[in-house]
């Protein structure tokens, strides 16, 4: 289980997260929705200790992430797959080497690594791309390799940072299908941060709306679709009028 | 004025602190031998072997110029075999290590800062962390070790090339015989001439790699930041080479 407890984080005196609290249950895929720049990726980076909170904490399997010593943090990271917004593949390495990198760290034998790489590439429909370099792949293919790199580790959790951003609708739908497939086949717990509402409806078991540094509403896909909260409604309907106007026109329905 | 001096002094202390902190991280990374040993071999080729042509090129022309300038200076006043003395001493003690160091500050320092900076802004460094690697052990230690080991080797080859080109110039353009040139070369030769140059080049290698890694890994934003880090790495490395050069002269000569 991943617990965000009253998380605060700011940059250059500007608060980004201000009391972010959310529980991600084992086995579910939680989608964190929010505007661009609202702090979704910042929250995600706290889970693997890439950022430290100004206040509050993130707890994974009972361990407070920012209090872990280096060895235990590494052990935690080995249980978590992270899919970056732009894939973040090491561009000097082939697809195979990229996927095998984390496996080598886990001390897997070379034959087992080959099997895992093949299995992961098959899962993301990229079988036979082992020897290609990231620069030879399209944006969508790179994201699929990023997902394969995370899945190959057989992690307990996978964190997806804007997995469909910048992709055409068909490729985005392919990525959504892969996220669903990964959960069905491996039972992995997922956290997906996105502003793509269609993707959120497809991959999410529950959806949380991040607004002004905190969770505005969290609920099942159906609950979010039927919400009366003006801020959430405005976001899911993609209406351009000011959020503040909608907010003041409504008393506020939270969670 | 006082505020400016205080700010500059504070900036200098912060920079020293960052280098110290980074050295501590590198020492920690050195303990992770399975991660950096294989990668170091790759860096030894990139930083060392691939730098040999430029180092030899510089040394060859330096040897030519030194022989000709020595001859021009000595004519009529000093025996010509001193051309060998001047070429040998100058190449081994000063120009071999320093000119090679300055050239490699551009080639190696810029390469390290730009590569690591780009990896930082494209989240490749973060990706390594999420895969449970220590980026210092994976990225910095191989470069620092490779540069420290390979710089003296490259400089040693440059020394040989510089003296050889000086000898060929003396024999072919100055009517000096090989025997005379070698006599001059041996005249005030001490083994210290060689190891002094090699110790200096070792310290230059360590410094250039450290500065390149620090500048590269501290990049925070996009392309402009990478460009600035690269320029800073080269300029700072070049300045520090000259400072270190003076330091070793004071301490060891």
Domain regions of chain A by residue span: 1-79+157-165+188-255
Over residues B207-218, the mean pLDDT reads: 95
Is the per-residue pLDDT at A255 higher than 50? Answer: no
Q: Note the pLDDT of residue A254.
A: 38
Is the per-residue pLDDT at B96 higher than 60? Answer: yes
Hey, which residues 152-181 in chain B have their CB within 8 Å of chain A? Answer: none
- The angle subtended at Cα A51 by Cα A48 and Cα A53, nearest 5°, is 110
pLDDT digits 0-9 by tens, A59-113: 999 999 999 999 999 999 999 999 999 999 999 999 999 999 999 998 888 889 9
Report which DSSP code applies to A39: S
Is the per-residue pLDDT at A127 higher than 90? Answer: no
Instruction: Classify each residue of B142-177 as buried b or exposed e, where b means 16 or more C-beta atoms within 10 Å of its C-beta.
Output: bbbbbbbbbbbbbbbbbbbbbbbbbbbbbeeebebe
A48 and B122 in contact by Cβ < 8 A?
A: no
* CB within 8 Å of A12: residues ≥ 6 apart: none
Rounded to whole angstroms, the Cα distance separating A38 from A195 reads: 10
Q: Note the pLDDT of residue B39.
A: 93
pLDDT digits 0-9 by tens, B29-74: 999 998 999 999 999 999 999 999 999 999 999 999 999 999 988 8
What confidence category does residue A252 fall into, taking pLDDT thresholds of 50, 70 and 90? very low
The percent of residues above 70 in pLDDT, for chain A, comes to 95
Rounded to whole angstroms, the Cα distance separating A148 from A156 reads: 14
Give a yes or no: residue B49 inside a domain.
Answer: yes
- Shortest Cα distance, chain B CAs vs residue A127, angstroms: 22
Give a yes or no: residue B56 inside a domain.
Answer: yes
**Count of the separate structural domains present in chain B:** 1
Give a yes or no: residue B23 inside a domain.
Answer: no
What confidence category does residue B159 fall into, taking pLDDT thresholds of 50, 70 and 90? very high
Q: Note the pLDDT of residue A242.
A: 61
Element (H, E) at A126: none
Of B122, B129, B134, the CB nearest to A86: B122
- At the topology level of CATH, where does A1-79+157-165+188-255 sit? Rossmann fold (3.40.50)
Say whether residue A101 is in contact with chain B using an 8 A CB cutoff.
Answer: yes
Give the relative orientation of helices B96-104 and B191-217 as an angle to the nearest 10 degrees: 10
Identify from B36, B127, B128, B142 which residue to disrupt to test chain A contact, counting A C-beta atoms within 10 A and taking the largest count: B127
Q: Which residue of B has its CA nearest to A74?
A: B132
Rounded to whole angstroms, the Cα distance separating B29 from B23 reads: 10
Give a yes or no: residue B213 inside a domain.
Answer: yes
Say whether residue A45 is in contact with chain B using an 8 A CB cutoff.
Answer: yes
Give a yes or no: residue B30 inside a domain.
Answer: no
| 3-state SS assignment for residue A25 | coil
Q: Note the pLDDT of residue A237.
A: 87
Q: What sign has the CA pseudo-torsion B18, B19, B23, B29? A: positive
Contact B121, A84 (CB under 8 A): no
> Which chain B residues are Cβ-neighbours of A104 within 8 angstroms?
none
Say whether residue B128 is in contact with chain A using an 8 A CB cutoff.
Answer: yes
* CB within 8 Å of A234: residues ≥ 6 apart: A241, A243, A246
pLDDT digits 0-9 by tens, A169-203: 888 898 899 899 888 888 899 999 999 999 999 99
> Residue B89's domain spans which residues?
36-247
């Amino acid at each position: 289980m991943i617990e965000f407890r009253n998380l605060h984080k700011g940059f250059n005196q500007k608060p980004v997260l201000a009391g972010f609290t959310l529980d991600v249950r084992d086995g579910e895929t939680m989608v964190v929705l929010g505007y661009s720049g609202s702090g979704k990726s910042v929250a995600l980076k706290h889970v693997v200790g890439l950022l430290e909170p100004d206040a509050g904490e993130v707890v994974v399997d009972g361990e407070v992430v920012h209090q872990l010593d280096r060895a235990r943090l590494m052990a935690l990271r080995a249980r978590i797959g992270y899919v970056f917004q732009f894939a973040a593949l090491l561009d000097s390495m082939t697809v195979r080497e990229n996927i095998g990198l984390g496996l080598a760290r886990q001390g897997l034998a070379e034959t087992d690594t080959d099997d895992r790489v093949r299995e992961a590439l098959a899962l993301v429909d990229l079988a036979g791309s082992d020897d290609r370099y990231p620069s030879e792949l399209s944006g969508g293919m790179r994201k699929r390799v990023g997902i394969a790199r995370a899945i190959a580790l057989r992690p307990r959790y996978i964190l997806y940072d804007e997995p469909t951003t910048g992709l055409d609708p068909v490729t985005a739908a392919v990525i959504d299908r892969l996220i669903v497939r990964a959960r069905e086949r491996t039972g992995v717990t997922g956290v997906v941060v996105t502003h793509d509402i269609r993707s959120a409806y497809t991959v999410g078991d529950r959806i949380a709306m991040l607004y002004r540094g905190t969770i505005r509403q969290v609920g099942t896909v159906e609950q979010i679709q039927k919400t009366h909260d003006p801020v959430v409604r405005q976001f899911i309907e993609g209406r351009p009028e000011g959020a503040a106007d909608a907010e003041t026109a409504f008393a506020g329905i939270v969670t | 004025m006082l505020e400016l001096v205080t700010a500059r002094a504070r900036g200098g202390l912060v920079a020293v602190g960052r280098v110290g902190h980074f050295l501590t991280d590198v020492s920690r990374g050195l303990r992770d031998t399975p991660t950096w040993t294989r990668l170091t071999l790759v860096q030894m080729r990139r930083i060392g072997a691939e730098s040999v042509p430029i180092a030899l090129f510089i040394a060859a022309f330096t040897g030519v110029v030194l022989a000709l300038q020595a001859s021009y200076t000595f004519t009529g006043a000093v025996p010509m075999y001193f051309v060998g003395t001047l070429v040998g001493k100058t190449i081994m003690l000063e120009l071999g290590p320093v000119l090679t160091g300055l050239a490699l500050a551009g080639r190696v320092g810029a390469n390290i800062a730009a590569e690591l900076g780009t990896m930082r802004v494209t989240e490749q460094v973060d990706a390594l962390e999420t895969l449970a690697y220590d980026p210092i052990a994976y990225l910095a230690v191989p470069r620092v070790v490779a540069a420290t080991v390979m710089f003296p080797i490259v400089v040693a080859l440059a020394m040989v090339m510089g003296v050889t080109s000086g000898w060929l110039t003396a024999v072919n353009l100055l009517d000096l015989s090989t025997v005379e040139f070698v006599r001059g070369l041996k005249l005030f030769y001490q083994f210290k001439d060689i190891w002094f140059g090699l110790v200096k080049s070792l310290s230059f290698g360590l410094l250039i790699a450290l500065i390149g890694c620090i500048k590269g890994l501290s990049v925070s934003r996009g392309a402009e930041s990478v460009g600035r880090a690269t320029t800073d790495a080269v300029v700072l490395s070049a300045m520090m080479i000259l400072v270190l050069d003076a330091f070793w002269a004071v301490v060891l000569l």
